[in-house]
Structure 1
Amino acid sequence: MSFLKRPNDVLFRVLVVVASTSLAALCLLVIYSVVMRYVFSDAPDFVEPIALLLVIVIAMFGAALKVREGGHIGLDSLVKKLPTKGQTAAAWIQHLCLITFAVAVFFGCLEMAMTTRGDRIPILGLPEALRYSIPVIASICIAMFSFEHLLALFAKKHK
């Protein structure tokens, strides 16, 4: 199982840095925008499209990070009342559903990225496909983290 754990550890650390940096940048960007708008009456045009990209990064990478930590939305109160085998079955179903979700996001966003690759984000001039590339990366991370959890469940079962 270490063949997947070590790369996932590195990937996790990278996602933490990227998501944290994006959150800090978003905070600074909003403060800058508010000061420019209300103090200097000069609202910068570029703030909104950059903020949207940062929010996408924070949300998608944050979701992947919570999958790795096992802190995603679940029905813990119901699962905790199940017997041990039921809890294990629920965990299997949960991670299989997450992988299915990740595959759907991957292919849906990949198609959108391919469709919009020639378009540009207004004001920034960046490719519109960038908006859809972020969830593609996050979906790969979600699938890898869920697969790691499934391998851990499988290893635990065979001990």
Structure 2
Amino acid sequence: MMQDSLVDGGAQAQPRRLLTLVNIALARLGTVIAVIGLMSIVGIVFYEVVGRYVFNQTPTWAESLALVLVLYVTMLGAAVAVRDAGHIGMDSVVILLPLHVQRWFEILIHILVAGFGASMAYNGWVLGMSVSTYAIPNLGLPEIVRYVPLSLSGCLIVLFSVEHTLALLRHEEVEPTWN
């Protein structure tokens, strides 16, 4: 279906296809980073427990690093869920509407989600910059690393919502991240 639209759409199809390819790559990268982060959290917490109960010497940095990684895992996971429509939805009311109205409600929802993502990106940046000179205790990293995933996730949510909105306007489906 996507190939047909590339042939029929000509020059308009190229930017749309580029957005899809970029979003697929970003969603895959976000998923891989989130999985690596989750595995790292498990390893760090295991190391912390072993250090505490076996060696009676708790590593001071482990809990702080695990908490920072949780932010990256959840924010990237949330952004990828927006692209793959894996987030919680309130379909029960929209399904009761006529088909032509359902599409407009879905477009409205994606526009609102994009606005929320833009707000996340902007406010995450502002908050991060306000604490960028402070260091995270036990890690020595700047506090801004806690706000990077908020801004990054917000930007991804905007991109993914734009892709969904454009697809709905063209009566198309968004190409899945993983085939």
Fold-level similarity (TM above 0.5) = yes
- Structure 1 partner of 2:135: 120
Q: CA shift at 1:87, angstroms?
A: 1.8
1:104 aligns with 2:119: yes
Q: For residue 28 of structure 1, give the secondary structure of its aligned residue in structure 2.
A: helix
Q: 1 CA distance for matches of 2:74 and 2:114? A: 18
Report runs of 4+ in structure 1 exceeding 4 Å deviation. Answer: none
Once the two structures are overlaid, the 10-residue window that deviates more, 4-13 or 87-96, is 87-96
CA RMSD of aligned residues (A): 1.2
Amino acid at match of 1:118: T
Q: Percent identity?
A: 36
1:16 aligns with 2:16: no
Q: Gaps spanning 5+ residues in structure 2: where?
A: 1-15, 173-179
Amino acid at match of 1:132: Y
Q: Gaps spanning 5+ residues in structure 1: where?
A: none
1:30 maps to which of 45, 54, 61: 45
Q: For residue 147 of structure 1, give the secondary structure of its aligned residue in structure 2.
A: helix
Q: CA shift at 1:81, angstroms?
A: 2.3
Q: CA shift at 1:80, angstroms?
A: 2.2
Q: For residue 156 of structure 1, give the secondary structure of its aligned residue in structure 2.
A: coil
Amino acid at match of 2:116: F
Q: 1 CA distance for matches of 2:47 and 2:113? A: 37
1:52 maps to which of 67, 74, 79: 67
2:58 maps to which of 32, 43, 50: 43
2:155 maps to which of 140, 144, 157: 140
1:82 maps to which of 97, 122, 128: 97
Q: 2 CA distance for matches of 1:80 and 1:40? A: 58
TM-score normalised to structure 2 length: 0.84
Contact 2:45–2:63 (CA under 8 A) maintained in structure 1: no
Amino acid at match of 2:63: E
Amino acid at match of 2:144: A
TM-score normalised to structure 1 length: 0.94
Count how many residue pairs are aligned between Structure 1 and Structure 2.
157
Larger Rg belongs to: 2
C-alpha distance after superposition, 1:44-78 (max 9, x if no partner): 11011101111001110000010010111111222
